[in-house]
Structure 1
Amino acid sequence: MDYEYALFRKEIDTQNKCCGGWVWCIKDICGIICAVLTWLLILYAEFVVMMVMLLPNPSLYSTINIIIFQTFAFFAFASHIRTMFTDPGAVPKGNATKEMIQHMGLREGQVIFKCPKCCSIKPERAHHCSVCQRCIRKMDHHCPWVNNCVGENNQKYFVLFTFYIAAISIHSLILSVNQFIACVRNEWKECSTFSPPATVVLLLFLVFEAMLFATFTAVMLGTQLQAIWNDETGIEQLKKEEARWVKKSRWKSIQAVFGRFSLAWFSPFTRPPSKTKLESYLYSV
């Protein structure tokens, strides 16, 4: 790799990044607000579940539910962070230069595609995101709740985020209903450390939040799994694009996102399998 090419790579690798180029981040105020709101809603569920329902009444029931809820909440938060701060598969911006195209060493008759918006050499199945201002490989959609695109490199984390949020939402809903029943049976005596009116308001808001997010994330989880199963992104389904790529089998498509089957499928701390070599950023594959 020559000196000019190395300088070019260094420049494009720092685009859309912060913290000295170590972390991918999108500086979109709407997305940042939505992401922070997501964290606050998780913290609210933490507060109500722990301080209103479980900790005031220590028992084996409380201990088991604390472990379950905290495990799901931790993985939901970790999945959100990984989705938000992982490069979704951005194509280097402005790499469609004469020098770069010559550097690719194209064969006679080989065709490449150039994005007119970010002036990048556009790989197959890549789409331009107006928020990220980049072309994203296998872009599914841009999600303001994670302030990032969902693409080739972070789809696993997004699927886990929707799964764990749906899990804690359903768990919170069950706990809230049980708490209401227990409070009514005991005529609100020793129901919680808060007054009965405050307890009702806190539980009702948690029930509303849990029902809303359980429905939203369950639907999103289903659409993501369907897209992976069919080897077709959300944008490709929406635009009804004809598949010009060789579709993988359903099992291979799942493995392309999660890797070989193991418990690591459910961990936001393991990376999805490597898709392409570094140089494939430059090619129409």
Structure 2
Amino acid sequence: MSVMEVNIEPVPGTFRPIRLKADRHNRCCGQRFWCIKDIFGLICAIMTWSLLLYAEFVVVYVILQFDGIFTWYNAINMVIFQLLAFLAVSSHIRTMLSDPGAVPRGNATRENIQRMGLREGSVTFKCPKCCCIKPERAHHCSVCQRCIRKMDHHCPWVNNCVGENNQKFFVLFTFYIAVISIHALFLAINHFLLCIHTEWKECSLYTPPSTVVLLLFLVFEAVLFAIFTAVMFGSQIVAIWNDETGIESLKKEEARWVRKSKWKSVEAVFGRFGVQWFSPFTPPPLPCKDEPYMYSV
């Protein structure tokens, strides 16, 4: 971060909002979606979907295979698992394709500084890497090649930064993956015990060795994902509750910003309490754009 002293003539009158030319960096599909073209991140995202597909296959075709027989146990668990899978995938896609809060690149120009209404001798911050006016609590991401407002961290599993605009979706992703992993673990262990106490041909369409291998791999995957995402979910909730991002905590930055109250900090990410808290289709509360030059359009 570099400090930039503004030496301009005083600007009379009040600041008038402006619209900057659309920043098309990190955009895809006709500029409709945010998209980070990082090979490692794309591989991690594909791995995430592949593991979810594997869990879907084992749960549906090995554990809950109806085989022409209807049971309430199978039906209820099928509905629960499919709902959780749908919400987890939706949260992942929303996290990956949402602008995390990128500051327009190259906006540290004399014209923009004048429109900010700054006076002669004022001091502001400029990012030397993407040449943007750096707002408070923003950090530069070397993968996204942008400064991100309230950046928490860059997560390769969603191939995106977690910041002001998509933190809600990331929290929901970790929550639903943790819950669906625990559910899959319960189903796998229960089915394995069932197979031990009955004939294998009655509890699986596959041979005993194949069934054991499929169930063991699902158990390993479920335990690993449950622990990892539960830890991530907990760390995100603590960060939101304390109004301190992961980077700020790691760097032990002194809080120069005015901290929100615990509940206000939660509402800043999820909005007012309601069912929409748990929906990946309800966007987070829009930040107050008092400084429109800090936002991509």
- State how far apart, in whole Å, the 2-side matches of 1:172 and 1:282 are: 43
Q: Which amino acid aligns with 1:277?
A: K
Find 1:165's aligned residue among 161, 177, 185.
177
CA shift, 1:191, in A, is: 1.4
Tell whether the 8 Å contact from 1:166 to 1:217 is kept in structure 2 after alignment.
yes
Bigger radius of gyration among the two? 2
Q: CA deviation at 1:187?
A: 3.4
Aligned counterpart for 2:88 among listed residues 50, 63, 76: 76
- Which residue is 2:204 aligned to? 192
Instruction: State the partner residue of 1:10.
Output: 21
Decide which of 168, 181, 194 is 1:182's aligned counterpart.
194
8 Å CA contact 2:178–2:230 kept in 1: the answer is yes
Partner of residue 214, structure 1? 226
C-alpha spacing 1:281/1:218, structure 2 compared with 1 (3 Å): farther
Does the 8 Å CA contact 1:104/1:282 hold for their aligned counterparts? no
Q: Compute the displacement of 1:278 (Å).
A: 7.0
CA distance in 2, matches of 1:122, 1:135: 7
How far does the alpha carbon of each residue in 1:64-115 deviate from its partner, in whole angstroms, 9 at most, with x for none? 0001111110000000000000000000011111222122221455421100
Extract structure 1 runs of 4+ deviating beyond 2 A. Answer: 55-58, 107-111, 278-283
Secondary structure of the residue aligned to 1:112 is strand
Deviates more, 1:218-227 or 1:183-192: 183-192
Equivalent positions of 1:1-285 (< 5 A) are 9-12=20-23, 14-56=24-66, 58-108=70-120, 110-277=122-289, 279-282=291-294
Question: Residue 82 of structure 1 aligns to which amino acid in structure 2?
Answer: R
Shift of 1:234: 0.2
| Unpaired segments ≥5 residues, structure 1 | none
In 1, Cα distance between the equivalents of 2:117 and 2:209? 72
User: RCO (CA 8 Å, sep 6+): is it higher in 1 or 2?
Assistant: 2
Aligned partners of 1:107 and 1:282: how far apart in 2?
18
CA contact (8 A) 2:66 2:74 kept: no
d(CA) in 2 for partners of 1:38, 1:136: 24
- Partner of 1:121: helix, strand, or coil? coil
> Against the structure 1 CA distance between its residues 98 and 170, is the aligned structure 2 distance closer, same or farther, given a 3 Å change threshold?
same
Distance in 1 (alpha carbons) for counterparts of 2:44 and 2:66: 32
Structure 2: runs of 5 or more not aligned: 1-17
Do the aligned residues in 2 keep the contact of 1:123 with 1:281 (CA within 8 Å)? no
Q: Distance in 2 between matches of 1:278 and 1:16?
A: 24
Segment drifting more, 121-130 vs 91-100: 91-100
Distance in 2, Cα, partners of 1:103 & 1:254: 33
Aligned identity (percent) is 71
Query: What is the TM-score of this pair, normalised by structure 1?
Result: 0.94
Task: Compare the two structures and name the one with the higher helix fraction.
Answer: 1
Alignment size in residue pairs: 276
Alpha-carbon RMSD across the aligned residues, in angstroms, is 1.4
User: Following the alignment from structure 1 to structure 2, what is the Cα–Cα distance between the partners of residues 191 and 47?
Assistant: 16
